Amino acid sequence: MPAALPDASILQILTSAQRPLPSPSAVALELMRALDRRDLGMRDIAKIARKDPALVARMIQLANSAIFAGMRPAVAIEEAVLRIGTDGLARLAIAMSLMQATKSATVEGFDLRRYWMTSIQRGLVFQHLSQRVGKMPSAEAFSLGLLADVGLLAMVVSLGVEAVTSDAAGSLHSLGEQQRARHGFDQGDASAVLLSHWGFPVALAQAVRFRPLPAETGSNREAQLAECVALSRSLQLHPDGMEPDAGRMRRLAEHLALTEADLQGVLASAAQDMASMATVFEMKLEQKEVDAEFDRLRRALAAPPLLLDPVADQVLVVSQDDGLRASLRQALQSAGHAVVDAATPAAATDILQVQGPRVVVLDWADGTEMAGLCRSLRQAHGPRIYLLALSRGMDQHSVLSALDAGANDVLSAPVLPQMLIAKIQTGARATRVLAASEAERSHSQRTQRTLEQRNAELLQAAGTDELTGLGNRRALDAFLPMTFAQALSEGQSLSCLMFDLDEFKVINDRLGHDVGDQALRAVGLVLRQQSRGMDFVARVGGEEFMMLCPQTGVDAALRIAERIRVAIAAPQPDLPPLSVSVGVAVGAAGFPDAASLIRAADQALLQAKRLGRNRVCLAPTSSAAAG
């Protein structure tokens, strides 16, 4: 095996091949360099992006996708930067330009469409995983998952498709071992080297390397980030001949304090977003194609854990005859069984209590004590233990006495090694199947007991804005129609309050995105503190928030809006002066549907902006004004 190559040598191999390596566009690389300049604001980032009109169009489309959509469509690159974030936008520009560079390329024996489909799916999986474990913002997580296996593409181009082809069906990690044996590096190393070369932070670049599964949970953020990347790879779409490794999925999930229900939720969310996200990357996917791809992963994950059961292959030999014990040990060990032995039933009982072997060979020549041991083992363990009796004489009485005491089978001693091994392996297989069946039943019961609780948690996670902890647009879409219909049928008032943080783009430009994020959290905190238990509060865009207040008329809604406006305008430590413009609409009567109520509040918000900001405006309560 060649020695592991240093990163500089790997980069030279990847970039000096006869066939040029697909590279990010000049604009994408300029955006990455701009991240290191703290003097550049959102408008500067937008100005760089405008050098590539196609990139601008795709970023605006991405800003309007399910992951980032606000109440109003984004129509300018500044709005896209605001929703996606500067770091996320720059790193996604790398991926988008790479995909564009390979769009018309062909590599014999390599399915580029499948590669990019898997990359998009892995990006979505990593993004939804990050929401649950709190490691990265959405856009940055999606971009890292999307590019986590860019080294595979680089190795195909520079070394040929055989560099990423496994010698036999196996896992992604077995392929990595073969690559290291052939080339001195694997596709994970290649990915890390390229991401570092393109300007990704060291911690993110190193996280995509293949690593052995640690025995314990990672003790720092970098280790946990690497485990999150590894889990997203385990949950990615696999080519034919490479089955998902459900055991590895579960072990990584345990390290990240995630359950099987969490992983199923991640897959469900990714499947829901897959087709629309593929459209952003100019790839057409039918939903039935997406569902078929995800079904294999869901089935692998839903199957009960494979029983890793060395105990089933351990054999206990009980006999007073030292020579018999030695000969049986030799025969069984040659067949791969672990063997323990005991000279007396009492010693055998102690071994069974401590080590728990489920295959036992009993020397029936030892008389009534052995029959008593056989009977007690059968009573204690039932069918979970395999008992094989060795009888010196195969007369009918001996055989019947052994079977009557609970033995599964009887062999004549001295016994042929082949016959002994065949019987032992049959018994071991039977106990393993029974144990697996019981494990499956227990697994199903545990899953059933926790399903309702986990479903509630998953729904909450999917409907929560990760920055403020408020509801998000998805949660609003689920809550609003039901609440509007209930208010309409019961003749109750339903007030909609729309908030927009004034001059938020100026805050981002002058003070940076960290301060901008703090400002959004501060607004979210005020809204949460000022809301009642029955109210619904959500962040529905970059700097836009909404509060739905059931059973709340015009006067009460205006008082709530004014109270929140004043609270946000109060000076706050480490923040510039903040203010919000508020639009209020009161229904449900007078509005044909929930969307009309929202539009009315939005129009009132725009009126508050036009009148000078930092004020509350009320929408007319009529369907004509709301339309």
Residue in 46, 126, 57 with CA at minimum distance from that of residue 280: 57
CA-to-CA distance for 191 and 195, rounded, in angstroms?
A: 6
The enclosing H or E element of 544 equals strand 544-550
Which three-class secondary structure string do you get for 431-453? Answer: HHHHHHHHHHHHHHHHHHHHHHH
Quote the tokens at residue 203.
Answer: 């911690």
The enclosing H or E element of 488 equals helix 473-490
Residue in 546, 550, 547 with CA at minimum distance from that of residue 534: 550
Cis peptide before 275 (omega within 30 of 0): no
Cis peptide before 414 (omega within 30 of 0): yes
Supply the DSSP symbol for 430. H
CB distance 164 to 156 below 8 Å = yes
CA-to-CA distance for 548 and 303, rounded, in angstroms?
A: 42
3-state class (DSSP) for residue 345: helix
DSSP states along 250-280: HHHHHHTT--HHHHHHHHHHHHHHHHHHHHH
The enclosing H or E element of 220 equals none
Look-up of token digits 């918000």: 605
CA angle 187, 191, 194 (to 5 degrees): 135
CA-to-CA distance for 526 and 173, rounded, in angstroms?
A: 48
Supply the DSSP symbol for 413. S
CA-atom Rg of the chain in angstroms: 32
State yes or no: is 140 an active-site residue. Answer: no
3-state class (DSSP) for residue 613: coil
CA-to-CA distance for 432 and 298, rounded, in angstroms?
A: 25
CA-to-CA distance for 391 and 413, rounded, in angstroms?
A: 6
CA-to-CA distance for 20 and 110, rounded, in angstroms?
A: 16
Catalytic residue among 140, 293, 543, 544: 543
CA-to-CA distance for 185 and 163, rounded, in angstroms?
A: 11
CB distance 485 to 589 below 8 Å = no
CB distance 77 to 542 below 8 Å = no
| Helices and strands (DSSP H and E) totals, the chain | 27, 10
Active site residues: 543
